[in-house]
Amino acid sequence: MTIDRRTAMLATLGAAVAGKAVAQTAPPAVSGDALPLVLSEPSETIDLWPNGAPGMPAPRPVEVTTERSTDPAHNDRAVVGVSVPRLAVFRPARPNGASLIAFPGGGYVRMAIDKEGYEIARLLAAKGFTVFVLFYRLPGEGWADRADVPLQDAQRAVRLIRANAGKYGLDPARVAAMGFSAGGHLCADLAARFATSTYAPVDAADRLSARPMIAAPIYPVVSMAPSLAHAGSRRALLGDDPTPEAVREHSPDLNIKTDSPPCFLCAAEDDPTVPVGNTLLLHAALRGAKVPVELHLFEQGGHGFGLRGVAGKPASAWPDLFLAWAKTRGWF
The mean pLDDT of 123-150, rounded to a whole number, is 98
> Would you say residue 144 lies in a domain?
yes
Instruction: Work out the pLDDT band at 196, boundaries 50, 70, 90.
Output: very high
DSSP secondary structure code for residue 114 in this structure: I
Residue 29: is its pLDDT beyond 70? no
The pLDDT of residue 26 is 75
Residue 173: inside a domain: yes
Looking at residue 28, what DSSP letter applies?
P
| 28 confidence band (pLDDT: 50, 70, 90) | low
Q: How far apart are CA 115 and CA 140, in angstroms?
A: 23
187 pLDDT higher than 70: yes
Backbone φ/ψ region at 302: left (φ over 0), alpha (ψ -120 to 50), beta: left
Residue 246 and residue 82: Cα distance in Å, rounded? 24
Mean pLDDT across 289-306: 98
CA 214 to CA 211: how far, in whole Å?
8
Domain total of the chain: 1
Write down the pLDDT at residue 41. Answer: 87
Residue 30 lies in a domain: no
Q: What amino acid is encoded at 24 in this protein?
A: Q
Residue 217 lies in a domain: yes
List all residues 6 or more positions away from 212 whose beta carbon is below 8 Å from its beta carbon.
101, 158, 175, 176, 177, 190, 191, 194, 261
Q: Residues 140-166: what's their mean pLDDT?
A: 98
- The CATH number assigned to the domain holding 117 equals 3.40.50.1820
Average pLDDT over residues 186-210: 98
Name, in order, each residue with C-beta under 8 angstroms of 130's C-beta and a sequence gap of 6 or more: 89, 90, 91, 92, 95, 98, 99, 100, 168, 169, 170
Whole-angstrom Cα distance, residue 159 to residue 161?
5
Cα atoms in the 13 Å half-sphere on the side-chain side of 90: 27
Domain holding 242, by residue range, is 5-25+37-328
Question: Is residue 95 in a domain?
Answer: yes
pLDDT confidence of residue 21: 39
State pTM to two decimals. Answer: 0.91
Mean pLDDT of 309-327: 98
Say how far apart CA 98 and CA 174 lie, in whole Å. 5
Query: Rounded CA gap, 221 and 108, in Å?
Result: 10
Answer whether residue 14 shows pLDDT above 80: no
Which is nearest to 69 in space by CA: 45, 101, 34, 98? 34
Report the percent of the chain where pLDDT is more than 90.
86
Residue pair 289/258 in contact by the 8 Å Cβ criterion = yes
Contact 158, 168 (CB under 8 A): no
How far apart are the C-alpha atoms of 18 and 26, rounded to whole Å? 17
- Residue 128: name the closest of 171, 164, 166 by CA: 171
Is 31 domain-assigned?
Answer: no
Residue 273 lies in a domain: yes
Residue 32 lies in a domain: no
Average pLDDT taken over every residue of the chain: 92
Q: Which residues make Cβ contacts (< 8 Å) with residue 281, sequence separation at least 6? A: 222, 223, 228, 253
